[in-house]
Every structure is written in structure tokens, then in C-alpha cells.
Amino acid sequence: MRWLQREFSALATEMEGAAVGYTCGLSNVPFVVIRGISNGAGETAHTDFKDNLHKVCQNSYRILEEFVPLYSAL
């Protein structure tokens, strides 16, 4: 984890999509994970989620709006 932070300035890691990504790789199926982070793991996580959910959804949608046309052009 510290290597990821140092090497990529990572603020978080995404592990849930790893199995899907691995399986897609074995089958030569394109794969991408677009994930919004709505809360941290600290004491305010329960309120962070509620406070940030709308913004995270908006940001994820904007990313998809730009990504889908680019991907479709490949």
C-alpha cells in the first residue's frame, strides 16, 4: 500500500474489481473500473457518505460521458 502511495500518489486502492479484471484479461475482454469515493474510513465515514454521495454520482457520470465516446471510437 505504501508503494502505491509513493509511486502513484494514490489516495485509495480498488480491490473489488480485481477478479473481474483478471477474468476479462484471461478472455481478452476490455475492462475498466470507474469508481467514486464517497467516504473515508475514519470516524466521520457515516456522515461523509451522506454528504458526498450526490457529488460522487455527478463526477462519475461526467467521467462516463467523456469515456464512453472515446471507448466507442476504439
What are 32-50's pLDDT values in tens digits?
888 888 887 778 888 988 8
pTM of the model: 0.62
DSSP secondary structure string for all residues of the chain? -HHHHHHH--S----TTHHHHHHHHHTT------------SSTTHHHHHHHHHHHHHHHHHHHHHHHHHHHHT-
Under 8 Å between Cβ of 54 and 67: no
Rounded Cα gap, residues 49 and 59, in angstroms: 14
64 pLDDT above the threshold of 80: yes
Q: Which three cell numbers stand for residue 47?
A: 456522515
